[in-house]
Amino acid sequence: MTKESKGKNKGEWSELYAFIKILADGELPSANDDLSSNYGKIIKFKSVIVKGRNGGNNRYVIDKKIIKIYDSHGILIDCFNRVLLAQKAANLAAKILKGKGSSFKIPEAVNIQNELHLFNTSAGSKTKADLEAVIFDVSSNAETRLGFSIKSFLGGNPTDLNASRHTQYIYHLPGMDANSAKTINEINTKNKLADRFKAIFNKCTKIQYCRMQSVEFERNIKKLDTMMPEFLAFMAIERFRPSGKKRPIYAYKTVGALTKALSRNKGLHSKHRLSYDDYKYKIKLLLEAVSLGMVPSEIWNGYSKAKGGFLIVKNSGEIVYFSIFDRDRYLDYLFNNMIFETPSSSPKTPSNPTGKNFPYSQIFCRGSNRDMFFVKITMQLRFEKGFHKKII
């Protein structure tokens, strides 16, 4: 980030916070299943590597009382007191919690970045390695350079898979007609999505998955399982199935519940002969891939970009980690705490600049006679729980 200070969202500011907090503390406890801290198992950070203002990677070496900052040529360019850094981290966390809107400015954060010779701590949308560091592995008595993915609960629950045109699924609506489509598209109630899809389910007894919007994301998830697009398409449309009650609006929401619905579908069962545990395993692989390396907008090579694991910033400001070497517990956490979210469906217009460039839930027609009707659904995954109390 430059001195001109563009606004950032809470997740992006949290990457700066995590960077400063790690430099100040020098170590992190591992996470228990409820995200409480396990101080019996910690990782020690020797240094952190971040892009500097000169365009190269700066190395921030954690000494006893100070941080030594080296540029990309190995030249010592500055030092910083770790106690002072801890104070700045606590102040930054409080500012992030108080931030309003989808993005906001924190002038103090810009000052910190300048003092630490930072260019930007945000990894950007094309990588899941939010932070790279050299850690000391107690078990092997060796130093290792690893990438880490950061998820922050400061001020809200983070997404794991962001909504975009790349995460859209297209469905054919047999039985739909032009008048019904027009009536459904005009629904603009408070619960617009719920009411539109209730009308779609009432009109169309069998909704057929056609294809994914994105060739890139389709290829990526087929690396995990060639039938993964079909599995996720079922879960995405099932997410909008009415529950038959006023509340909750939808019958299913969590990844776990939708995986159960997937396993109970007679058509899929007769086709694939898979059990709930089979589907659970496959969905876990998807969650792992998305959290540690796969980006929907570009072709994935199958490798994790965050080989160190997963850093979680709790709403208290404390940071814990799931090691990639503790894979089973990490995958259980992802599976048990993820929901299929309903992102905004409002299109971006001059009067609605916060709208999306990938609107969905609007029925559209195709075919030579324009008598075939379709609808798009946008998939987004978000963490449901933080398992901690707000104390800052």
Task: Judge if 183 and 98 occupy the same domain.
Answer: no
Of 131, 152, 173, the last residue of a domain is: 152
Contact residues for 308 (Cβ-Cβ < 8 A; gap 6+): 133, 135, 146, 147, 148, 321, 323, 324
85-130 per-position pLDDT tens digit: 999 999 999 999 888 887 899 998 889 999 999 876 654 444 456 8
Task: Judge if 57 and 85 occupy the same domain.
Answer: yes
Domain assignment present for residue 20? The answer is yes
Task: Judge if 239 and 293 occupy the same domain.
Answer: yes
Task: Judge if 168 and 223 occupy the same domain.
Answer: yes
pLDDT > 90: percent of the chain: 53
207-230 per-position pLDDT tens digit: 999 999 999 999 999 999 999 999
In the chain, how many domains are there? 2
Domain assignment present for residue 257? The answer is yes
Of 132, 152, 172, the last residue of a domain is: 152
User: What pTM, to 2 d.p., does this model score?
Assistant: 0.83
Distance CA 250, CA 197 (A): 10
Distance CA 48, CA 67 (A): 10
Domain assignment present for residue 275? The answer is yes
Domain assignment present for residue 24? The answer is yes
Domain assignment present for residue 281? The answer is yes
Task: Judge if 286 and 234 occupy the same domain.
Answer: yes
191-198 contacts, C-beta under 8 A, 24 or more apart: 191/249, 192/345, 192/361, 193/240, 193/342, 193/345, 193/361, 194/240, 194/242, 194/249, 194/250, 196/361, 197/240, 197/241, 197/242, 197/361, 198/242
Query: From residue 124, how far is each of 11, 121, 131, 151 by CA, in Å?
Result: 11, 9, 11, 14
Regions of the chain short of the pLDDT cut 70: 1-6, 120-129, 137-140, 244-252, 345-359, 385-392
Task: Judge if 260 and 377 occupy the same domain.
Answer: yes
Of 152, 173, 198, the last residue of a domain is: 152
The predicted pLDDT at position 221 comes to 96
Task: Judge if 70 and 121 occupy the same domain.
Answer: yes
Domain assignment present for residue 50? The answer is yes
Pairing of strands 142-152, 309-313: parallel
Task: Judge if 256 and 360 occupy the same domain.
Answer: yes
The predicted pLDDT at position 129 comes to 65
Task: Judge if 59 and 205 occupy the same domain.
Answer: no
Task: Judge if 285 and 186 occupy the same domain.
Answer: yes
Domain assignment present for residue 312? The answer is no
Query: From residue 347, how far is each of 23, 343, 356 by CA, in Å?
Result: 42, 12, 5
Task: Judge if 138 and 228 occupy the same domain.
Answer: no
Domain assignment present for residue 378? The answer is yes
Task: Judge if 239 and 183 occupy the same domain.
Answer: yes
Domain range for 99 is 10-152
The predicted pLDDT at position 11 comes to 84
The predicted pLDDT at position 384 comes to 83
